[in-house]
Amino acid sequence: MSAVPLAATLDHLVVLATSLASGVAWAEATLGVTPGPGGEHPLMGTHNRLLRLRTSSDQATAQPGAAYLEIIAINPDASPALVAPARRWFDMDDLALRERVALQGPQLVHWVARVPVLAAALQAWQQLGINRGEARAASRPTPGGLLQWQISLRPDGQRLFDGCLPTLIEWGPHHPTATMADSGLTLQALTLQHPQAAQLQEACRAIGLQAVVIADGPARLSAQLGTPRGPLTLRS
């Protein structure tokens, strides 16, 4: 495989909730912070609330970086623009996952990596036999203007590698963190644990993704956070 200088970075963590109200309550009780505003995703019939994250690379400058935590839920007042049998992103239509979240409460289920050229990243994974889907244009309105991006979507909505392999995103001229207040949350480490750790490592290397820990073992996504209430680890 020819080298592709992609330099992927973590973009955001995905916490799935049965409703935005339950997601906000979870954040306040668990993280000690109230999520900021998000928006609606007409393509998927979902909506979200957001929290800006500092990352370890930001600590030297004490400036929050371009990463965030997304609390996402199906919007009961919206119908997705998807054409059946296509399904929502992040396995949100998977009944087993929805039942688990309904029973256990909001939880970390996935993450998204930012790439400068989505088409090149998808091609790099295709060469490894990984079908992360096709690039799909999406957008949502915000008070500061329209956010636009391209995101890798599979028709079946699957996350792959039990949520450890990231969905890929290429942002337009604006990133949502540009208008987010500092939440007081710091992402200290992201660990991808999976029985196919070697393949996961190869996939991350192929897109230039370095700031994650990859370990062999039962499938689990773990994010170590610093919060106003002290250290906390979110696990899938």
Lowest mean pLDDT among 2-6, 109-113, 138-142: 2-6
pLDDT in tens, 73-94: 999 999 888 888 899 999 999 9
pLDDT given at position 58: 52
Q: At what angle do helices 118-126 and 197-206 cross, to 10 degrees?
A: 140
Residue 67 clears pLDDT 80, i.e. is over it: yes
pLDDT given at position 2: 43
pLDDT in tens, 175-188: 999 889 999 999 99
Q: What is the pTM (predicted TM-score) of this model?
A: 0.93
Domain-located, residue 236:
no
Domain-located, residue 231:
no
Q: How many domains does the chain have?
A: 1
Distance CA 76, CA 88 (A): 14
Domain-located, residue 128:
yes
Domain-located, residue 205:
no
pLDDT given at position 55: 86
Domain-located, residue 36:
yes
Domain that holds residue 126: 9-183
Backbone angles phi, psi at 184, to 5 degrees: 85, 5
Tokens 């330099």 belong to residue? 7
CATH number at residue 115: 3.10.180.10
Beta carbons of 14 and 89 less than 8 angstroms apart: no
Domain-located, residue 63:
yes
Domain-located, residue 203:
no
Beta carbons of 57 and 188 less than 8 angstroms apart: no
Residue 64 clears pLDDT 80, i.e. is over it: no
Domain-located, residue 107:
yes
